[in-house]
Amino acid sequence: MNRTTVIPFGPQHPVLPEPLHIKFVVEDETVVQAVPQLGFVHRGLESLVRTKDFKQMVFVVERICGICSCIHANCYCNAIEDMLGVTAPPRAQFLRVIWSELHRVHSHLLWLGLFADAFGFESVFHQFWRIREHVMDICEATAGNRVILSVNVVGGVRRDLTPDQIRWMLEQLNELEKGVLDMSKTMLQDYTVQERTRGIGVLSKNDARLLGAAGPTLRGSGWACDERMRGYAAYKELNFVPVVEQDGDCYARSKVRFYETLHSLELIREALHRLPESELAVKLPGNPDGESVFRVEQPRGELFYYVRANGGKMLERMRVRTPTFANIPPLLHMLPGCKLPDIPVIVLSIDPCISCTER
């Protein structure tokens, strides 16, 4: 007798308010197969390149993903700058790193909260989101918006930091760090947390490479692979070291994100202390022509932009590859064999961002 049941997960589900649908074939409590379905929220943002000029597109690409908007814009601007043969001035490069890292911190804090929510630790969830308000305030006070920062333009940045702001930011960062460190014992040593995350959703080192995992999912499986190591923007001048964990389970991935949050805070501080003096943006020598690709590190992994232009104001083609897309095959590999209550924990452990995947 066939004892399997099919349980649908999403596109509307309490733990993942994003439109990802997975059909789980379960036998008793054990998942035997996971069949994904994507494509619920296609917005056609890539095709907008043909109707908006390349400078306006910065505001469109920022809206691909709410949570790492600044990093999308950073990647897009870098791709166009490469094509135009210009480089953003040093101060702009540092500011881009500062805002990108602020985004990484708020994305990771959001994720740590959601992850705690997935294994039912509500007080941790609220605590992380409470700490996160410091970053949101910094973003709002410096860039003018909480989430969609709109600070990048092709050729540089639009906003500067005054010495007063830098001082205030450093104070806020200290507060923030205190808050994060306060949570370190809970996230790293707590019995309940370990019971729910350790040994679950294991992705071996070899599988992570074969299935093309990206970001913390890849680094949680023992690969020191981070786009920031390439040293785009000002990363080459900062003390950046990738965070790597070996176990490849949900616990390892949460550790990677936890330590990355702390490391990002360090990077922001270092960048603030070493902010060079220069203008904020360079003049552009005309319209872009040709092809260009650029990769940056998003909170979720490697983000890839391909742009093609023909010398006009509008681009011809743009293609974005987001890290969640890369992380779906590894996710499907982790799920079979797990127990039903572990599904939310495993799905969240790749930090899925579906709206970004489907644009």
Q: Please report, as ranges, the residues that interact with another protein according to CB under 8 A.
A: 52, 55-57, 59-60, 63, 121, 123-124, 127, 130, 133, 137, 140-145, 148, 150, 158-159, 182-183, 185-186, 189-191, 313
* CA-wise closest residue to 131 among 65, 198, 94, 186: 186
The SS3 assignment for 314 reads strand
Minimum separation from the CB atom of position 146 to another protein (A): 9
| Nearest distance in Å: CB 288, another protein | 15
> Which secondary structure element, helix H or strand E, spans residue 302, and what is its range?
strand 301-310
Instruction: For the CB of residue 322, give the shortest distance to another protein in the complex, in Å.
Output: 21
> In this structure, are residues 257 and 240 in contact, taking their beta carbons and an 8 Å threshold?
no
Tokens of 331: 């996710």
Bond into 17 cis (ω within 30): no
Smallest distance from another protein to CB 145, Å: 6
Q: Which is nearer to another protein, 13 or 159 (CB)?
A: 159
Our CB check for another protein shows the closer of 194 and 310 to be 194
Closest distance between another protein and the C-beta of residue 313, in Å? 8
Of 226, 217, 258, 247, residue with least CA distance to 112? 258
Structure tokens at 188: 């790293």
Would you say 83 and 292 are in contact if contact means Cβ atoms under 8 Å apart? yes
Closest separation in Å from C-beta 302 to another protein:
27
By C-beta, is 146 or 209 nearer to another protein?
A: 146
Q: Which is nearer to another protein, 28 or 122 (CB)?
A: 122
Whole-angstrom distance, CA of residue 73 vs CA of residue 71: 5
Please give the single-letter amino acid code of residue 335: L
d(CA 347, CA 102): 25
Cβ proximity to another protein: between 123 and 239 the closer is: 123
Least distance from another protein to the Cβ atom of residue 61, Å: 11
Cβ proximity of 80 and 288 under 8 Å: yes
* Nearer residue to another protein within complex by CB, 60 or 268: 60
Q: Distance (Å, rounded) from C-alpha 255 to C-alpha 112?
A: 10
Q: Which one, 23 or 55, has the nearer CB to another protein?
A: 55
